[in-house]
Amino acid sequence: MMIEVMKSKIHRARVTQAELNYVGSITIDEDLLDAAEIIANEKVQIVNNNNGARLETYVIPGARGTGTICLNGAAARLVQVGDIVIIISYALMNRDEAKAHQPKLVFPDDNNRLIK
């Protein structure tokens, strides 16, 4: 049996843009993607700490080092610039893999930059 577990998380990133007239997705700074081991087109869940909205979409890499967190398309209606979001990726694993799995946790600073 396969179970779905948290693979990685970008915790408390700040939304920098919301682009309604775009073909869906979330654009995320490549530095954050690399740190969280999330790849282009991967499905993610977005949890908005400001209003409780939860949504699923796919990832588009954003310019490295910019701190970009941009909700695109319909998802832009569920956030405001400045909102704090949690971005979660999941993976299917068997029970033994899941027990041994250590998710990648990324805690960016207030400007969505990696804390070194």
Instruction: Please identify every residue annotated as catalytic.
Output: 25, 58
Q: Which two tokens stand for residue 24?
A: 């869906």
List of residues 6+ apart from 34 with CB closer than 8 A: none
Run of H or E including 26: strand 25-29
Question: Do 89 and 36 contact (CB within 8 A), yes or no?
Answer: yes
List of residues 6+ apart from 85 with CB closer than 8 A: 12, 13, 14, 15, 46, 47, 48, 49, 69, 79
